[in-house]
Amino acid sequence: MEAMINTLPALVIIVPLLAALVVAGASFIDRRLCFPIGVAALAVSFVSAVALLIQVVNTGVAMEYRFAGWAAPMGIVYVIDHLSALVLVVITGVALVNLVSSRQTIIWEFQDKEGVFISLYVLFTAGLVGMTATGDAFNLYVLLEIASLSGYALIGLGKEQAPLATLNYLFLGTIGATFYLLGVGYLYMATGSLNMADLASILPGIKDSGIVLFAYIICLTGLFVKMALFPVHGWLPGAYSQASSPAAGLIAPLTTKVTVYIMVRICLSVFSFDYIFNYLDAGKIMVWLAIATIVFGSVSALAQTNYRRMLAYIIIAEVGYMVGGFFLGNRIGMSGAILHIVNDAVMTLCLFMAAAIFAWKTKTDEREGLKGLFNTMPLTMAGFVLAGLSIIGVPPTCGFFSKWYLVSGGIAAGQYGFVAALIFSSLVNAVLFFRLFEICYFEPFVDHHHGAAHSDSEAGIQEAPMNMLLPFLAVSLLLLVLGVYSGRIVTNIIYFAIPAGVI
């Protein structure tokens, strides 16, 4: 049993990595095999991630897996602690649920490219899982590129303007990855090591070095591009609004959140809390950058008539939540930022699953296409209302609790501009979603197949197929479950991810 547990850190990434290759081969034999292989691989990865989280929480000790038996710092190791185990569960859970719910849409949108899409889908997930688990700064770059390249391809398979959106994403994403790699190169030049734990032990002795400072700035700049922090956000709205529904349901909930996790990991596990907040005193300027991101994302979302493009700008604002919360530099703010990684991933998944159902039903992503859906799709709209209320921050949904931590952290740090930005963003989200609720409830349903408006009695209830509807409703209910258990998640998992000396 112990030997099996010790292999879980490898299993969680190797299974989807190999499955991507198997799916690609199966597509030449029988396309019907691709979907069950992909689902099975992600299910194994998800169960492994859950087992790892349980193991780490129960023992309180981080797990280390040495590839090919080589010990750190010479070999590449995977380190599973409270934070990485939590994020692994989020990644694999989102990927699995979204794939299961996207079965109909994948057949509808891709037809003969089904095998290619699922192979890229599983490979993208494997890249994110590896980035989360690795304890090596250069290996993180390699896995970042695996996730990025498969992500570009997934988006490129989307709508008419998808190739152009992908090209924009490719250019900016490559710049972000190059900046990160350059920063790692400077770290290696200063320390002679690439292992994160080894770097953390060396860097305090050379913290006055200009090379270390440059490495920190340039690493973070690369990550800011990847997470779409203002003003280097330009790739995100086009990429997320032009991607196919199944691709958007995977990439939108995970890409920015995993990159925020990487930022937290690099800051705390490589450069150290003391270097960033005491020696550099970088918190204040980063919080103001986060405030600008929140305000820009919220105001831009107000200007959108396309539902998915509106969601894309909301995601940019949410990135500001997490970056600002972390750089508050206190325990409650950091807890809110990490909790919001989990909550926002689930909220975004729910909203993009709703978008997939709306697109299936109305054949459009435009806001006006949602007319009358309360009457024709009452169950779907119930889930959508829950997701909207969670984004706004209404209790007892999970969105309220992470915002509560963030607001409390902002007040404790004296960052009232950040608190004001959070409240402003919540008010904007209330305007956005209640406008959508109004359209869906009061205006008559339009049958886009025939271009005619129907009364409620004529339209009847026309819910999405069960394999789309049931996963969506499960995720919407999870928003309440996460809200109820937010305190336990923070106390039993997130507090252990924050250095002991942080007040």
340 in Cβ contact with 325 (< 8 Å): yes
The pLDDT score that the predictor gives to residue 455 is 43
The pLDDT score that the predictor gives to residue 228 is 86
Peptide bond into 395 cis (omega under 30): no
Burial of 491 (0-12, 13-18, 19+ CB in 10 A): exposed
**What H or E segment, with its residue span, contains residue 378?**
helix 378-392
The pLDDT score that the predictor gives to residue 1 is 60
In terms of DSSP H, where are the helices of 60-113? 82-101, 103-110
Longest dimension (CA), the chain: 74
151 in Cβ contact with 124 (< 8 Å): yes
Q: What would the two tokens of residue 144 be? A: 């970042």
Peptide bond into 163 cis (omega under 30): no
Q: Which residue has the tokens 């950058």?
A: 289
CA-wise closest residue to 397 among 407, 387, 411: 387
Residue 64, strand partner residues: 79
DSSP summary character for residue 502: -
Q: Which amino acid is at 38?
A: G
The pLDDT score that the predictor gives to residue 69 is 66
- Secondary structure of 111-128 in HEC code, one letter for each residue: HHHHHHHHHHHHHHHHHH
Instruction: Please state at what angle helix 82-101 crosses helix 103-110, rounded to 10 degrees.
Output: 60
Q: Which amino acid is at 115?
A: G
The pLDDT score that the predictor gives to residue 456 is 43
The pLDDT score that the predictor gives to residue 2 is 65
The pLDDT score that the predictor gives to residue 461 is 73
Q: Tell me how far apart the alpha carbons of residues 124 and 149 are, in angstroms, rounded to a whole number.
A: 8
The pLDDT score that the predictor gives to residue 111 is 75
3-state SS assignment for residue 263: helix
Q: What are phi and psi of 453, to 5 degrees?
A: -85, 140
3-state SS assignment for residue 60: coil
88 in Cβ contact with 129 (< 8 Å): yes
The pLDDT score that the predictor gives to residue 428 is 94
Q: Tell me how far apart the alpha carbons of residues 150 and 19 are, in angstroms, rounded to a whole number.
A: 14
Sorted by sequence, the CB contacts under 8 Å of residue 370 that are 6+ apart come out as: 307, 358, 362, 436, 439, 440
The alpha-carbon radius of gyration of the chain (Å, integer) is 22
What totals of helices (H) and strands (E) does the chain contain, helices first?
22, 4
Domain coordinates of the chain in residue numbers? 282-503
Q: Per residue of the chain (503 residues), what is the pLDDT tens digit?
A: 666 777 788 888 899 999 989 988 888 888 888 889 999 999 999 999 999 999 999 888 878 887 766 666 767 888 889 999 999 999 999 999 999 998 888 887 777 788 888 999 999 999 999 999 988 889 899 999 999 999 898 888 877 777 888 888 888 889 999 999 999 999 998 888 888 888 888 888 888 888 999 999 999 999 999 888 988 888 888 888 888 888 889 999 999 999 999 999 999 988 888 888 888 888 889 999 999 999 999 999 998 888 888 999 999 999 999 999 999 989 999 999 999 999 999 999 999 998 888 888 777 767 777 777 777 888 888 898 999 999 998 889 999 999 999 999 999 988 899 999 999 999 999 999 888 888 877 766 555 444 444 444 445 677 778 888 899 999 999 999 999 999 999 999 999 988 887 88
